[in-house]
Amino acid sequence: MTYDHLKFAPDRPGDWFTRMLSKCLPPGQLFETMRSSWSVFYGLLSAFGKELRRVEENAYKALNESTPGLAVDVLADWEEELSMPPPCIEGLLTNDKRQIFCQEAHAFVCEYPTAKWFESYFARHNISVTINEDPVAPLPFRTGGSGAPAVTRVGSRLNSVAGVHKFSVSYSALLDADLKRFVKWQTLRLKPAHTSAEFIEV
């Protein structure tokens, strides 16, 4: 899984700027000669054209760096901004994995996690989890604010402590220790602030 489909890239030929500069020359036989690719003057124009091309490529690169899933030079800054886990910060994951985690965390800003959202999220990382909420507790309101879709959201049922919404996350006891930490860290980081998560190994 990559985010290359989001990437910005120049769609012009490499010598496009040089040819555009040559077209800015006045008409006449002398300048027609200068427009020839073998002329010394065209070589001079080519140097300027390459520099303009470099500026354009850097502009596209800056656009790509603004997307966490494509960032390279500022990937560490994205990780710090999004409070990514130690394996990311300490460089224990590949750049591709770090980009994916950052992009998902960034996308979460525009999303609100339902139980199904959490289960799908971990499924994309080949981890099977089950989200359970208290089936007998009352459901006094929908979480997520006004205008939110009328669906049951994670932790939307009250538990025995007034005002605290609780849900459980079940996963296999055979999971690798790092994956268990990943499940706990991501759940605690992404869950709504007014909810409480319980982790159960089965």
- Does residue 25 sit in the same domain as residue 14? yes
Q: Dihedrals φ, ψ of 133, to 5°?
A: -115, 160
- Does residue 117 sit in the same domain as residue 195? yes
- Does residue 60 sit in the same domain as residue 119? no
Q: In which band, very low, low, confident or very high, does the pLDDT at 108 lie, cut at 50, 70 and 90?
A: low
pLDDT of residue 146 exceeding 50, the answer is: no
Domain end (from 110, 137, 163):
110
- DSSP for 52-83 reads HHHHHHHHHHHHHHTSTTT-STTHHHHHHHTT
Q: How many domains does the chain have?
A: 3
Question: Mean of the pLDDT values across residues 8-36?
Answer: 83
What DSSP designation does 24 have?
A: T
Strands 195-201 and 165-171: parallel
- 158 compared with 114, residue with greater pLDDT: 114
pLDDT of residue 124 exceeding 50, the answer is: yes
Based on its alpha-carbon atoms, the radius of gyration of the chain, rounded to whole angstroms, reads 27
CA distances to 79, 85, 111, 120, 202 from 97, rounded to whole Å, are 12, 12, 21, 17, 27
pLDDT of residue 152 exceeding 60, the answer is: no
Q: Where are the alpha helices (DSSP H) in the chain?
A: 16-23, 29-34, 40-65, 75-81, 86-89, 95-107, 115-123, 177-190
When the pLDDT of each residue in the chain is averaged and rounded to a whole number, the result is 75
Q: How many residues does the chain have?
A: 202
CA distances to 53, 113, 138, 151, 200 from 160, rounded to whole Å, are 64, 22, 10, 22, 19
pLDDT at site 134: 60
* 183 and 169 Cβ atoms separated by less than 8 Å: yes
- Does residue 156 sit in the same domain as residue 90? no
- Does residue 97 sit in the same domain as residue 171? no
Q: Which residue range is the domain that position 33 belongs to?
A: 4-65
- Does residue 123 sit in the same domain as residue 160? yes
How does pLDDT run across 158-201, given as a tens digit for each residue? 333 445 567 888 999 888 888 898 889 888 877 777 678 889 99
- Does residue 103 sit in the same domain as residue 125? no
